[in-house]
């Protein structure tokens, strides 16, 4: 039983960075903005979080630094696409490339340095219970935060006026503007929240998942997060399922490698990506649902006079 519990804990850890980044992208896309810079924001978040935790010795300062780094990059993206009306796809790709380079530069002296891991919030007594203890009560702050934010986002998007405004802006910014909603403000907020969550996703990688800094350590998770949003048909709870599936497959392939299964490790490393996309494609075959949940104005620049 203890082995099962420790496997499940590891699955949650592998899923958390994806969930955070995908949730950020979902909120951004719901407002009609396509930000392809997730990978870049995650990397810069990861390296800034690591650097701050390394200098201060406190991983929580690192968490804050990761989120702020993501927001900074997202603000830059927002300036380009909302004010200067650049093409969102090109700008997002540029942001990813920029983030890869910038994070490598910042992290130059940090490769291989040790830092304290993000502390586990254990409750004495309860966390020591067999199975239930580690599974429910033995995680760090970001794991709980990612789950709480997912359910919160689901409630807000489906149940509140704020969520209605967000969906309306993503569906048709021109109509929303005609009704007197502030399209720019909604889109800006969504982009910044998206940046913060991507930054947190990156921070989780360098502070908790593998407490160290390595160049390009996100290894494509930003793109998987993007796929999660699309195949999760823009719904937080489906995305949660997808992220945990990815976590499970990551772990499964590690164990398969460890067991010496006669399949080249390169193929096993592909498994989580392939399986996640396959399952999500199967889940999202319902065209009606996609049409009703996808933001219709995704990726289109909005200008009130045009």
Residue from 35, 146, 172, 284 that binds other proteins (CB under 8 A)?
Answer: 172
Query: Taking the complex as a whole, how short is the minimal distance between the CB of residue 292 and other proteins, in angstroms?
Result: 5
Rounded to whole angstroms, the Cα distance separating 16 from 22 reads: 10
User: Hey, what are 47's tokens?
Assistant: 């390296």
Closest approach of other proteins to the CB of residue 26, in Å: 16
Give the count of residues interacting with other proteins (CB under 8 A): 23
Provide, rounded to whole angstroms, the least separation between the CB of residue 34 and other proteins: 18
**Is 43 one of the binding residues for other proteins (CB under 8 A)?**
no
| 285 is an interface residue for other proteins by CB under 8 A | no
> Considering only residues 189-248, where is the footprint of other proteins by CB under 8 A?
none
Q: Residues 152 to 171: which contact other proteins by CB under 8 A?
A: 161, 164-165, 167-168, 171
* Helical axes 88-106 vs 59-78, angle rounded to 10°: 150
Q: Residue 219 corresponds to which tokens in the numbers above?
A: 């290894």
Which range in 52-60, 62-70, 99-107, 285-293 contacts other proteins by CB under 8 A? 285-293
- Give dist(CA 276, CA 25) in Å, integer: 17
Q: How far is the CB of 14 from other proteins (least distance, A)?
A: 34
Judged by CB under 8 A, the stretch of 76-84, 147-155, 178-186, 204-212 that binds other proteins is: 178-186
Query: Distance (Å, rounded) from C-alpha 59 to C-alpha 79?
Result: 30
The Cα-based distances of 232 to 94, 192, 224, 225, 240 in angstroms read 25, 22, 11, 10, 8
Instruction: Select 174 or 300, whichever has its Cβ closest to other proteins.
Output: 174
- Name which of 255 and 291 has its Cβ closer to other proteins: 291
Judged by CB under 8 A, the residue of 3, 105, 259, 287 near other proteins is 287
Taking the least distance from each CB to other proteins, the nearer of 96 and 233 is 233
Give me the least distance between CB of 277 and other proteins, in Å please.
23
Stretch that binds other proteins, among 16-24, 30-38, 51-59, 288-296 (CB under 8 A): 288-296
- Note whether 2 binds other proteins by CB under 8 A: no
Which one of residues 9, 181, 271, 275 is an interface residue with other proteins (CB under 8 A)?
Answer: 181
Residue 177 tokens, joined: 């503007």
Instruction: Return residues touching other proteins (CB under 8 A).
Output: 161, 164-165, 167-168, 171-172, 174-181, 287-288, 291-293, 296, 304-305
């Amino acid at each position: 039983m203890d082995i099962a519990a420790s496997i499940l804990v590891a699955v949650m850890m592998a899923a958390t960075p994806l969930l955070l980044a995908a949730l950020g992208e979902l909120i951004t896309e719901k407002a009609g903005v396509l930000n392809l810079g997730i990978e870049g924001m995650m990397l810069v978040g990861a390296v800034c979080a690591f650097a701050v935790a390394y200098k201060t010795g406190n991983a929580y300062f690192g968490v804050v630094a990761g989120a702020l780094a993501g927001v900074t990059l997202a603000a830059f993206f927002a300036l380009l696409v909302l004010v200067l009306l650049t093409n969102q796809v090109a700008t997002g790709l540029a942001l990813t490339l920029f983030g890869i380079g910038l994070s490598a530069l910042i992290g130059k002296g940090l490769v291989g340095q040790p830092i304290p891991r993000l502390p586990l919030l254990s409750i004495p007594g309860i966390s020591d219970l067999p199975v239930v203890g580690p599974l429910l009560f033995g995680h760090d702050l970001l794991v709980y935060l990612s789950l709480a934010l997912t359910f919160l986002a689901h409630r807000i998007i489906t149940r509140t006026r704020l969520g209605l405004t967000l969906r309306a802006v993503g569906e048709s910014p021109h109509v929303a503007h005609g009704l007197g909603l502030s399209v720019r403000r909604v889109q800006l907020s969504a982009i910044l929240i998206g940046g913060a969550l991507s930054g947190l996703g990156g921070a989780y990688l360098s502070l908790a998942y593998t407490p160290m800094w390595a160049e390009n350590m996100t290894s494509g998770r930003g793109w998987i997060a993007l796929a999660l949003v699309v195949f999760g048909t823009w719904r937080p709870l489906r995305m949660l399922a997808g992220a945990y599936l990815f976590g499970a497959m990551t772990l499964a392939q590690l164990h398969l490698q460890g067991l010496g299964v006669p399949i080249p490790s390169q193929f096993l490393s592909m498994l989580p990506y392939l399986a996640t996309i396959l399952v999500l494609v199967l889940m999202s075959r319902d065209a009606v649902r996609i049409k009703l949940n996808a933001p219709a104005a995704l990726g289109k620049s909005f200008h009130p006079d045009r």
